[in-house]
Amino acid sequence: MSLPGFALGGVLGNRSLQQRSLKRERVHRLCAEGGGGGGGLNNFGRGRGDGDGYFGGDEVFRLPAAVPLEPTKKLDVITTTSIITDLAKCIAGDFLSITGIIQPGDDPHVYEPVPTDSIRIEKADIILYNGFDLEMNLMPLINNATQQCKQFAVGESVEPMPSCESTDTPDPHVWNDARNAACMVNAISDAFSECDPEHGKIYLKRARRMNKELVELDQWIKKSIQSVPESKRMLVTTHDAFQYYARAYGLTILGTLMGINTEEQPSAKMMSELISEIRLAKPPVVFFEKTVSPTLIRAVAEDANVDLCDESLYSDSIGPEGSGAETYQRMMAYNTRVIVDALGGRTGPPPLAFSSPL
């Protein structure tokens, strides 16, 4: 004899199973009727509206709406010089937002910050700057950036040469040796990987590719300079920006009109001494740079009875669009062609400019 409780439970259980079975049959039937005029379930699961208690009359059954994923906000990277901006963009690709402060063709030695620079630096997640006091007027803003902002002096990844003025003052123009640019590329890649580890392997891959291109560029420059007769491998420039270039590629710097900073004005004594050195060494030409007025160096060349080169050099910046020096690699190739042609050598086709990021 069954216990009353168990018998009651069995009856209730069977009744519940029957109700569920009826519900399933009704669902299948309504789905099958779905194409016709308001009966059944349409594409969005609307009930028949018969108020039978199973579908709640006009109650609507909808599939859960897909919740769009918010795109991950890119880190804001502020770069100082146009050279660093170019290298950083090649490493970052589309993963980071790169904004350069000093534009192509502008001189970082004399750049004066504007109000928007302060706003950008305040909002920055990462700041890349050269260091060695190149961007002196921007450093107060950079030093006052928020604690959350990470700062990297990528030029200081290179062992500096002393300036011509003092052994205690480093020469900031490290990028004028392509091997030093490779060190800067590695420093930028490390900085991005530290701040955005999710894409660290991609940054490293791009840095390795760029370093391979910089080796090719370095070899091309050396070969080009070697085509110049040895007695003519001399540089006279407006300011002292080509020490690294001269050391790396076998040139002698006879002298410069200014020191490492273009803000300086040469004294009459400095001009007189430079004129004497030029008259003694007799270089084929004297060079000037795009970011510095050629007026004084032209006067020096005339007094020394030496030609002033027809084309100017890029010393602290890449060139604007259409200049033929729009990237770091093209800028170095451009300068090399101007120097070699003016000194009596010949250059072959330069390596390809940096290709688009992977």
CATH number, domain with residue 309: 3.40.50.1980
Q: State whether 206 and 260 are in the same domain.
A: no
| pLDDT tens, residue by residue, 305-339 | 999 999 999 999 999 999 999 999 999 999 999 99
- pLDDT in the model for residue 265: 76
Structure tokens, 196: 């955005």
Residue 172 confidence (pLDDT): 95
Q: Tell me, yes or no, whether 126 and 243 share the same domain.
A: no
Residue 7 domain flag:
no
Amino acid, res. 225: I
- 53 & 83 share domain: no
92 and 194 share a domain? yes
What does the pLDDT read at residue 68? Answer: 55
In a domain, 229, yes or no: yes
Q: Which of 220, 236, 253 is the last residue of a domain?
A: 220
Q: State whether 260 and 283 are in the same domain.
A: yes
- Residue 39 pLDDT more than 60? no
Residue 206 placed within a domain: yes
340 Cβ contact list (under 8 Å, min separation 6): 224, 225, 227, 228, 346, 347
Q: Which residues of 11-50 are buried (b: 16+ CB within 10 A; e: fewer)?
A: eeeeeeeeeeeeeeeeeeebeeeeeeeeebbeeeebbbee
Q: What is the pLDDT of residues 47-60, one digit of tens each?
A: 444 444 444 444 44
Residue 16 lies in a domain: no
110 and 198 in a common domain: yes
Domain count along the chain: 3
Print the domain residue range for 165: 76-220
Q: CA 164 to CA 99: how far, in whole Å?
A: 33
Separation of alpha carbons 83 and 63, rounded Å: 53
The verdict on residue 262 lying in a domain is yes
Please report which confidence band the pLDDT of residue 5 belongs to, taking 50, 70 and 90 as the band edges. very low
Together in a domain, 215 and 96? yes
- Crossing angle, helix 200-226 and helix 82-92, to 10 degrees? 130
How high is the mean pLDDT of the chain?
Answer: 83
> Is residue 11 in a domain?
no
Note whether 124 and 104 are same-domain residues: yes
pLDDT one-digit tens code per residue, 17-29: 455 555 555 545 5
**DSSP string over 131-172:** -TTTTTTTHHHHHTS-TTSEEEEGGGGSPPPBPSS-TTSB--
Among 220, 252, 270, the domain-final residue is: 220
Query: What pLDDT is attached to residue 263?
Result: 62
Cα separation, 101 vs 248, in Å, equals: 29
For the chain, what's the residue count? 358
